[in-house]
Structure 1
Amino acid sequence: MQDVADILDRQLLDDWQRDFPIVSKPFAELAKTLGTSEAEVLERLTALRNEGRITRVGATCAPNTLSASTLAAVAAPEGRVEEVAAIINQEPGVNHSYERENHWNLWFVATGSDRDAVDNLLDRIAQRTGLRVMDLRLRQPFNIDLGFKMTSGGAPICHPAKRTADPSAIVEGDKALMNILSIGMPLASEPYAVIANQLRRKEEDVMGRIKTLSNAGILSRLGVIVRHRTLGWKSNAMVVWNLPQDRVAAAGKQLAALPGITLCYERRPVPDVWPYRLYCMIHAQSREDALEVLTKAEVLPDLQNVDHEVLFSTRCFRQKGAVIDTAKEVPA
């Protein structure tokens, strides 16, 4: 893990990855808890962002609520990996993309305003690369909210899925608001007022909608979003398990509860190509640490002797907040 020697930087990274204050001057609120000034907090967060230690201060959105998304993969031939990765990353709707150790070696998350937009994005990538694109749609999450603590002994902090998001809470204008929060809120003394001005709304209305979306599980986390690879979690493995549909729920709950498993969810298999339904992520500081967690997973009651593949990430091509299509909602 990269050493974060400065105590104030470490506290900002540790204590504010979630539950960020929804008050007029949130950074002043952080300053109170840290015993420093608002200006110091803003200066340090700006520096952490510029250094690449955090991606933003902002929000994550529950999947397939305000927008649509999917995990996808292509098998790029040797010699074309960087070319194909560049084509994938030309799409604004791609917010994460990685090279992994597998025949299907380029993996990315595709987002769009709705399912048709995601399908069109995948079709464009297939046409431009000449490669088949696997579409691995989310079926159910077991653990999809992750944090990284500098003072936790090097262990990521995961938050099991506790509730189902309530899309009935969404009203007109929420997409435009969440788009700004997903990209990153302004590092200014009164960020919600700045956002309200951008949207031609009132500050209290913006803060009220953020609280409502959070309570409804649409906004899944508001806070400092760290760049985990830069901070030392570089040995990251996606493990996929080949289980029949009727065994996924029990195995997923066991897997999500295992220390060291940082993400866990069920995805739709692709017949005759990719039979795996259950996915988990292990974020670790070394390959040995990741494999140690995997060894513990392999002996869980519902995963013993289950066929699985381990796909270590070798390169990160993109990591940013999801862009939500707001063309119909942003004021002209």
Structure 2
Amino acid sequence: MSNVATGAFAELDELDMAIVDDWQRNFPLVPRPFSVIAKQNDVRESYVLERYKALKEQRILSRIGTILAPNTIGASVLAAMAVPIDQVDEIAASISSFAGVNHNYERENELNLWFVVTASDRQNVDQILADIEATTGYQVYPFRLEQAYHLDLGFSIRPNRSHTKVVRAEEADMSCIQPEDRILLGALEDGLPLVGRPYMELAKTLGWTEARVIGRLTDLLEGKIIRRFGCVVLHRRVGFKSNAMVVWDIADDMVDQIAPKLARDPGVSLCYRRNRHEGRWPYNLYCMVHSSSREEAKCVIDRLNCQVGLNARNHTILFSRRCFKQRGAQLGPAARSPSPHTVAAQ
């Protein structure tokens, strides 16, 4: 079995690392994908399945599933709220109870609760935000994605990971989306079934054929609607203890010149532009930095600030304190309603 530490994070052995790190993208789209992975590692298919199940139980692996291009199938928004410190746990639990909330973090800032809402369309996203505001009694500040420069949390988790990085600005082909794709992606919200023929299992649930499931996933990947298909890692559990969101106030006509430079930095996992909130939040350029320590994260941030130079009128760093919820997005009607299932704070 996996070699799991009893502390704040887990240590992966060689096989665990191979079946997770090597398959964060390009997961085999063949009838027996776990057999492909087993052969590559010279072990039995059943043993690979056992390891994946153990990694999921240990909350190292969130799921094997899809990461979608933003606002293609469904809609999403990052939002924040300022909550008194003695009410953070209570309000965070209330926010997490909404099925449409798939990420919910406490960060070091006056705006201290940051969460992502995803739903079938913009109207439902806005309704969830209104419901959260009404339920909690605190104002919600939505920060909508205006431009993505780099969106990829599928970075290597190996201790000696390479710093080679390719940033691609690929536009999603909306014409490849078919009406039934939402049903397929909804069936994958909790991840690929951990069985010998997972696509057949999905096909039975949907009343499809196995070939149709594999075909649609292939088409959505080729059309860049699915940005990544593979292992989704809970990074804090494998040693990336420092999660920092860095935000800058950059003149609007300069963002497109500066952001691509930041996106190419090996320490940056996400880079995008979002709207400001006049009088409350002047920042429009965001980068996410995932590191093993606060000191390592600050080194990356210092490097980014050198790249931004005098173009930044202001900036701030929001280190993550706690993760209250992290799961795959839910796109169906149920996303509007509170859910009885939440993820405990890590």
TM-score normalised over the length of structure 2:
0.91
Q: 1:21 to 1:233 in 2, by over 3 A?
A: same
Q: Give how far 1:151 is off.
A: 2.6
CA contact 2:166–2:264 (8 Å) conserved in 1: no
CA distance in 2, matches of 1:104, 1:188: 43
Q: Please name the residue that 1:275 is paired with.
A: 282
Q: 1:157 to 1:186 in 2, by over 3 A?
A: farther
Tell whether 2:244 aligns with 1:234.
Answer: no
CA distance in 2, matches of 1:271, 1:47: 47
Q: Please name the residue that 1:41 is paired with.
A: 48
Equivalent residue in structure 2 for 1:74, among 77, 81, 85? 81
Q: What is the correspondence of 1:1-332 to structure 2 with a 5 Å cutoff?
A: 2=9, 4-153=11-160, 160-301=167-308, 305-325=312-332
SS at match of 1:162: coil
Overall identity of the aligned pairs, in %: 43
1:166-199 deviation per Cα after TM superposition (whole angstroms, max 9, x unaligned): 1111111100111222320100100111111111
CA contact 1:140–1:265 (8 Å) conserved in 2: yes
Q: Give how far 1:160 is off.
A: 2.5
CA contact 2:164–2:266 (8 Å) conserved in 1: no
Q: Give how far 1:213 is off.
A: 0.3
Q: Give how far 1:304 is off.
A: 5.1
CA distance in 2, matches of 1:188, 1:157: 34
CA contact 1:148–1:156 (8 Å) conserved in 2: no
Q: Give how far 1:79 is off.
A: 1.1
Runs of at least 5 residues in structure 1 that lack an aligned partner in the other structure: 328-332
Q: Give how far 1:302 is off.
A: 5.4
1:230-251 deviation per Cα after TM superposition (whole angstroms, max 9, x unaligned): 1110111101110121111111
CA distance in 2, matches of 1:155, 1:100: 28
1:61-102 deviation per Cα after TM superposition (whole angstroms, max 9, x unaligned): 111010000000000112110111011011001000100000
Q: What code does the residue aligned with 2:209 have?
A: K
CA distance in 2, matches of 1:16, 1:326: 31
CA contact 2:101–2:118 (8 Å) conserved in 1: yes
Runs of at least 5 residues in structure 2 that lack an aligned partner in the other structure: 1-7, 335-346
CA contact 1:241–1:309 (8 Å) conserved in 2: yes
Q: Give how far 1:153 is off.
A: 1.9
SS at match of 1:314: strand
CA distance in 2, matches of 1:72, 1:155: 33
Q: Give how far 1:305 is off.
A: 4.8
Q: 1:309 to 1:193 in 2, by over 3 A?
A: same
RMSD: 1.7
Q: 1:114 to 1:153 in 2, by over 3 A?
A: same
Q: Give how far 1:269 is off.
A: 1.2
1:84-129 deviation per Cα after TM superposition (whole angstroms, max 9, x unaligned): 1011011001000100000000000000100000000000011111
Q: 1:167 to 1:141 in 2, by over 3 A?
A: same
Q: Give how far 1:301 is off.
A: 5.0
SS at match of 1:178: helix
